[in-house]
Amino acid sequence: MNSEERNNGFDPQAWRPVLLDSRPALSKRRVQLWALVLDSRSIPCCIDTDGSGWQLLVPEQHLTSARNELQIYEENNCNWPPPLPPARMLVKNTLPTVSILILL
């Protein structure tokens, strides 16, 4: 959501911050991701920043549904992305690799 969208019809009295828990500040990346989640569910939102970090604002009438959607999103994606697989040891592959390189 760019600033033009935010300022067009933006009434700070009618919009409330969406907070899932008591985190001190949200990162810009997380707020943008949450905005995409809400946008995909047709819940209007805007991104705003204050002195301590970023926040996501939604109209008062959509506050409960926005919190529910974000809670579901966080629960379904708590282990995403998956951890990287462990690195394989290449020591045992040295002889075959060198042999193939010599043959080339």
* pLDDT of 23: 62
Q: In angstroms, rounded to a whole number, what is the distance separating the alpha carbons of residues 82 and 89?
A: 21
- The DSSP result for 5-69, as a single string, is HHHTT--TTTEEE--SS--S-B-HHHHHHHHHHHHHTT---EEEEETTEEEEEEEGGGHHHHHHH
pTM of the model: 0.65
Q: Mean pLDDT per segment of 10 residues, for the chain of length 104 residues?
A: 48 76 76 95 91 87 94 89 79 79 86
**Token representation of residue 26:** 């949200």
Best CATH choice for the domain 3-81 from the list 3.40.50.2020, 3.40.50.300, 3.30.70.1530, 3.40.50.980: 3.30.70.1530
What's residue 65's pLDDT?
96
d(CA 47, CA 32): 7
Q: Where are the domains of the chain?
A: 3-81
